[in-house]
Structure 1
Amino acid sequence: MTILEEILEEKAKEVAKLKKSYDSIKTNKLPYNRSLYQTFMTSDYMNIIAEIKRASPSKGMINPDVIPSSQALDYQKYGAGAISVLTDEPFFKGSMEDLIAVKKQVAIPILNKDFIIDEIQIDRARDAGADVVLLIAAALSPERLQILFDYATNKGLEVLFEVHNQAELAIAQTIGASIIGINNRDLKTFQVDLAITEQLAAQIDTSHTLVISESGMRTREDVERVKRAGVKGILVGETMMRSPTLDKTFEQLRVKL
């Protein structure tokens, strides 16, 4: 069983519990109306989605003592275009409380980074104030992805649609995704290769579709490389979470477009 399959199996149990316990009507809803698409498509600099991530299956504990609200304020101060909050608990040690805490502190778009397999997770993300939700092509059938994509957009949320290969990109384009995340990390082997972004971005009309390169962004050279492919945004997790000098890390990665 791959790590992705393990995560999805656990997520199915989580969703079953959520359907019994979560009541959207009784939730104090936070606002969700900040457009990642508009912000990133009109920017003169490489847009950074800075991620709050305590741990990962491939790296183990990364920054277990992070205070999400403080980290988010630093991200915003140093130039993040958006913030990704990993809310999966078993594998990434996150929570929806992390997302709520971040939303209350910052004025930039918030991505709920999780493994979404059901509409109730989209309801929960929206109620917690997420502006964007993640859909992963490798996680579900094209039919189910279309249903969840339509559900999220009808609720007023943007969707970051994550792909890793040619077949998944075709699904994203058929569905009509306007924000496509190209994950340079293979979710089955966890190997990272920036050539994935170069190969797939070449097949996307980047004048209308926002392309985000995910995973493996460590140096200015990495960012310049994906910029040449037409990428306008990068998602940076581990590099940010391990950085002792966030101001310098942002300065290094925020190249001019």
Structure 2
Amino acid sequence: MLDDLLAGAIADAAERRVLRPLAAVEADALNQRPAIDALEALAPADRVRIIAEVKRASPSRGAMADIPDPAALAVSYEHGGASAISVLTEGRRFGGSLEDLVAVRSAVSIPVLRKDFIGEPYQVFEARAAGADLVLLIVAALEQERLQSLYTLIRQLGMTALVETHSSDEVARALDIGAGLVGVNARNLSTFELDQNLFGSLADQIPSGVIRVAESAVKTSDDVAHYRAAGADVVLVGEALVTQGDPMRTLQEFLA
């Protein structure tokens, strides 16, 4: 599944590149206002921080929410206390787009994450051109040399990489490239099975000074508390916010 998602994302980027060459996207990226410091926004605090996600669908759940106005949803997240907004920009299986990211970036004042299957520099320049402050890198999807080069490019453009892991070996690889923001995804992106205890089993391998992010398997405030007790500085929440009637209230409950 992960290989298919990455291949599809790269193929879609290649189509966009025909319409808008790298030089043009790079120029847009360099003309953007400076990225917001996501490491500062997500720094450990007295209470857990939440990255709230704009997410229409997923391969495991199918369609979840129409989200006709992603900017309005993002504003409700910001008002509800989110520390950052994640925007799915993958179109084939998640129903997202770069246009969603542009709309969200123009509507909120907190950092915005481009969550996609990133495998080449063009996608990183696209992210910055669209106003992203963070870019997701999935260790399992990338050879170490490519992971390092994409991470370096993200940093050079002033953004922050959220480096996602699923195992002890992947945590080590994330730390080897110098990641300051390391996520542990409870969802195995090869099988799409969930293991909420995976974060707790890996958290001690992430040293102090590196922000620890728990991803997936969040349905209730108890799930957020579970991750917090296991050492999470940040919890990324998507499905639970878009499938319940009042995302702002749900978010506030999670933060409480």
Matching residue's letter, 1:11 = A
Q: Give per-residue Cα distances to partners, 1:171-222, cap 9 Å, x unaligned.
A: 00111100001000000111111111001111111x3000110001122221
1:174 aligns with 2:172: no
Give the match's secondary structure for 2:85.
strand
In the other structure, the counterpart of 2:165 is 163
In 2: Cα distance, 1:64 partner to 1:200 partner? 35
Matched residues, number:
252
Taking a change above 3 Å as real, the CA distance of residues 9 and 247 of structure 1, as seen in their structure-2 partners, is: closer
Structure 2: distance between partners of 1:230 and 1:94:
31
**Kindly tell me: are residues 159 and 237 of structure 1, through their superposed partners in 2, closer, same or farther at Cα, counting changes over 3 Å?**
same
Task: Sort the Cα spacing of 1:72 and 1:142 in 2 relative to 1 into closer, same or farther, 3 A.
Answer: same
The Cα of 1:163 is off from its aligned counterpart by 0.2
Residue 63 (structure 2) aligned to one of 55, 61, 67: 61
The residue type paired with residue 3 of structure 2 is: E
| Identical pairs, percent | 38
1:92 partner SS: coil
Summarize the alignment of residues 39-58 of structure 1 with structure 2, pairs less than 5 Å apart: 39-58=41-60
| CA deviation after TM superposition for structure 1 residue 116, in Å | 0.5
More displaced stretch, 80-89 vs 213-222: 213-222
1:19 pairs, out of 11, 17, 20, with 17
Instruction: For residue 16 of structure 1, report the CA deviation from its aligned partner.
Output: 2.3
Paired with 1:32 and 1:72, the residues of 2 have a C-alpha distance of: 20
What is the TM-score with the length of structure 1 in the denominator? 0.93
Q: How many Å apart are 1:25 and its aligned residue?
A: 5.3
Counterpart residue number, 1:10: 8
- In 2: Cα distance, 1:226 partner to 1:25 partner: 38
Structure 1: segments with no counterpart, 5+ residues: none
Please say if residues 51 and 85 of structure 1, whose CA atoms lie closer than 8 Å, have aligned partners that are also in contact: yes
Whole-angstrom distance in 2 between the partners of 1:119 and 1:72: 27
Alpha-carbon distance in 1 for matches of 2:132, 2:233? 21
Query: Aligned-pair distance for 1:32?
Result: 4.0
Question: Distance in 1 between the 2:67 and 2:110 partners?
Answer: 23
Contact 1:32 1:130 in 2 (8 A): no
- Name segments (4+ residues, structure 1) moved above 6 Å: none
Output the aligned Cα RMSD.
1.5
| Alignment counterpart, residue 77 of structure 2, candidates 75, 78, 89 | 75
Whether contact under 8 Å (2:163, 2:174) holds in the other structure is yes
Aligned to 2:245: 244
* Counterpart for residue 199 of structure 2: 197
How far has the Cα of 1:17 moved from its partner?
A: 2.1
Task: Give CA deviations for 1:68-107 in whole Å, capped at 9, x if unaligned.
Answer: 0110111111111100000011111111110000111100
Q: Is the 8 A contact 1:164 1:183 kept in 2?
A: yes
1:230 aligns with 2:231: yes
Per-residue CA distance 1:9-64 (angstroms, 9 max, x = gap): 21231232233322225648542421221122153321110000111111100102
One-letter amino acid of the counterpart of residue 34, structure 1: I
